[in-house]
Structure 1
Amino acid sequence: MALASKLIDIHTHVYLPRYCSLLRSRTSVPRILTSTRDGKPDDRLLILDHEPSGGRPVGPQYWDRDEKIKFMDRHGIDLSVVSSANPWLDFLSAPEAKTLALELNEDLEQYCSESPQLSSSSLKRLYGFGLLPLVPGISTSSLLETIDQISKLSYLKGIIMGSRGIGKGLDDEALDPVWAALEKAGLVVFLHPHYGVDEKAWGDKDNGHVLPLALGFPFETTIATTRLILAGVFDRFPSLRLLLAHSGGALPQLSSRLASCIDHDPVVASRLKHDARWYLGKLYFDAVAYGPEELGFVADVVARSERFESGRPANMPPTVARTLGSKRMLFGTDHPFFPPLQSTEKWKSVVENLQAIDSVAGWGQAEKEGVRGGNALSLFNLI
């Protein structure tokens, strides 16, 4: 199989042993709580207050590299770009966060460097996103030091971050040196949600994790990215490479409404260099959407972005070339989350995402192979 035809998972998580040890030592959320269920030890991951269903059952698939490789083999995944999962370091003091970030980045480098080699290639099967100590009170120098560390680690190709920044969100001007350093280093920024929206919005009925995960997480991503656009971050740092979890949440669907609201608001009407829809063409999106219609729509929105570079849409054929939009989309699984409820050889969540890619109307073999792996090879400079 040619390298460009490999299947690459760019949305797959690991809770490294050092991080798990910290979570086990805690007495408040976030934590890993060990109890007894049906007479057997039961480990549960609690990452949010009032965690539904008593938390998520956790086991070796969360931290064991061999289990990650077994999962990849079972689903035909050749290479994964692994990220530490939420809540990252949000709950720590600035000194603790800095120390742990540096340690976990070294741990992840080892985790990846000791993974098997990809057959017929010089590549390893695992690469990673590092962590920044993004917490209130952290110094800019500490953040820049960590970026420098990550840029020198051979198997770390970017960073994963949540939406809070150092306490005021990602549109905080204090983060400008961070964006500048990330842009200069060529590191991919994977924006991933953790907090969702106000839990009161979900009401009193027990619906498990469905509302916070299906809606709250993507809404968080939508708001955080919109704030970056409104703050002019992509105007100041045009080469910044931002990858959005869960296909960008609701941002593609709401991007024209966003543009209209900006045009009619005197506070922001003249703030940006481009129409808001133009910036979506500068972003990257994972393909964790589970449906071909959703993936096709995201590709359409990405592809049309060039129409808005001047702020005045140019005439274009009515059919948008979604083949162009596919170049900004990448396969992901969200492993080890969403395991099947019944025993099965393959995870339904993974199979659905692969079937969705294969069924997008207007995508030929080249576009499908790009989303499955070719785009990741280019984005992470693996070829």
Structure 2
Amino acid sequence: MPNMPRPIVDIHTHVYPPSYLDMLRARKTVPYVHDPPSGAASRLIILSSDDNPSIPLDQRGRPVDSSYSDIAVKLAFMRWHGITTSVVSLANPWLDFLAPDEAETWAKRINDDLEVLCARVNREADPEGTRALHEKETLFAFGALPLSAPSAGIIAKEIARLKTLPHMRGVIMGTSGLGKGLDDPGLEPIWAALADTETLVFLHPHYGLPDAAFGGPDATDRYGHVLPLALGFPLETTIAVTRMLLAGVFDRFPRLKILLAHSGGTLPFLAGRIESCIAHERKFIANGGDTRGPQRSVWDVLKTNIFLDAVVYGEAGLKAAVHAAGGADRLLFGTDHPFFPPLDGKEDGEWLSVTTNYKAINSSFGDEDVAAVLGGNAVRILDLK
């Protein structure tokens, strides 16, 4: 990318380690990987709506090629788009579906795989350790948590272990938490462990909204993934964070740091409405009710506890995100690679998911803020050395 400030850091970029895909290949229920006997591309079925018996098995889900697991493809993508550093993370559905007795083992394995991968790539890029961050392609990672483990102590133990791995810069987590949402009291020791260790949480949607919200299975047949991805994912994030706010999570854990995918869904746009509804809620003690209600405002939480990625694909959404966050210093560039590849199927084709985000950032800010959003903020917030 000519005339782009460096470093450029991609904090929203996914990888499925080969061990993870092999584990999915051994499964027959969502999530799973199906290898067509014809030798065609493998199919990744991670959304329950994709596992429709009326759809031929060889056509369910999405095709997955080497870009999902081969780090050489990731590095080539980075070079093509001028990206100097990627903070990779396991993509949805992470490890949420595992049986309790498997969760801890798989979390350690996946996180160790990511750590080894980052260490190898960075060593090969700079054997002598003398090159600056913007002079090489480097990798860091967000770890995965064993959220289905039989005790919160096991999860907290892995959070602490991740802090000892040199290339880990936080964790990625879905909106289900332990299975009951992010306002679940059972998450209290997890929030405490994350806050105490100053571990950043990259919160990413997966579960969407019920099919009925979009017209049922018939709508999926007509419109594919447009409704669940364009609307379901952002609203899922918005609802999850609002439930945390209402439950007082941010009151009890003021040091909790969360990075929201897709610029926070619709949270920046709806923050004022959420705040107004909270102020007028009669169930809260402030208005004569018997429920405590949140003690901090949505705006305070957005400016103190929350960072937003810039994966919003348009200037209007990006400006709403900046306003809600209180400035460009809390926005971080991302691509969502390897999802949304070039429509022409060519390796060197245009990634609209990347170019639209670059365009929105460059048209929304002056040079100093552009440099901060594209890389400077990530270097500072994630301590990328």
Same fold flag (TM > 0.5): yes
Return the match for 1:370 from 366, 372, 378: 372
Out of 255, 259, 263, the residue aligned to residue 247 of structure 1 is 263
* Residue identity matched to 2:8: L
User: Could you report, residue by residue, the CA deviation over 1:275-333 in whole angstroms, capped at 9, with x for unpaired residues?
Assistant: 22221112100000011121112111222xxxxxxxxxxxxxxxxxxxxx111110000
Q: How does 1:24-39 map to 2 (within 5 A)?
A: 24-36=25-37
| Distance in 1 (alpha carbons) for counterparts of 2:39 and 2:27 | 21
Gaps of 5+ in 1: 304-324
- 1:379 counterpart residue number: 381
> What SS does structure 2 have at the residue aligned with 1:376?
helix
Is the CA contact 2:342–2:349 (under 8 Å) kept in the aligned structure 1? Answer: no
Partner residue in 2 for 1:50? 49
SS at match of 1:115: helix
Equivalents in 2 of 1:266, 1:9: separation in Å? Answer: 43
Q: Measured at CA, do residues 354 and 269 of structure 1 come closer, stay the same or move farther in structure 2, by a change above 3 Å?
A: farther
Classify the secondary structure of the residue corresponding to 1:41.
Answer: coil
SS at match of 1:114: helix
Q: 1:343-369 CA distances to partner (integer Å, 9 max, x unpaired)?
A: 343312101111110011xx2111111
Partner of 1:346: 350
User: How far apart in 1 are the matches of 2:48 and 2:378?
Assistant: 35
1:126 equivalent to 2:139? Answer yes
Aligned-pair distance for 1:273? 2.4
Partner of 2:237: 221
Matches within 5 A, 1:1-383: 5-36=6-37, 40-51=39-50, 54-116=60-122, 117=125, 120-121=131-132, 125-135=138-148, 138-203=150-215, 204-205=218-219, 206-268=222-284, 270=286, 271-282=293-304, 283-303=306-326, 325-342=327-344, 343=346, 344-360=348-364, 363-382=365-384
3-state SS of paired residue (2:212): helix
SS at match of 1:290: coil
Asked whether the 8 Å contact 1:161–1:191 carries over to 2, the reply is yes
Per-residue CA distance 1:123-180 (angstroms, 9 max, x = gap): 8700000011112x62011011111111111101100000111122111122122112
Please give the alpha-carbon distance, in whole angstroms, between the structure 2 residues aligned to 1:347 and 1:74: 10
Q: Contact 2:83 / 2:137 at 8 angstroms: preserved in 1? A: no
Check conservation: 2:11, 2:88, Cα contact below 8 A.
Answer: yes
Query: Letter of the aligned partner of 2:252 in structure 1?
Result: R
**8 Å contact from structure 1 (residues 33, 44) kept in 2:** yes
1:74, 1:345 within 8 Å by CA — same for their partners in 2?
no
CA contact (8 A) 1:74 1:346 kept: no
Moved more, 111-120 or 280-289: 111-120
5+ long unaligned stretches in structure 2: 52-58, 287-292
**What letter matches 1:346 in structure 2?**
E
Aligned equivalents of 1:73, 1:177: Cα separation in 2: 41
Report the TM-score when normalising by structure 2. Answer: 0.88
Deviation at 1:12, TM superposition (A): 0.3
Aligned-pair identity in percent equals 47
Deviation beyond 6 Å, 4+ runs, structure 1: none
Q: Distance in 2 between matches of 1:17 and 1:40?
A: 18
After superposing the two structures, state which structure 1 stretch, 44-53 or 200-209, moved more: 44-53
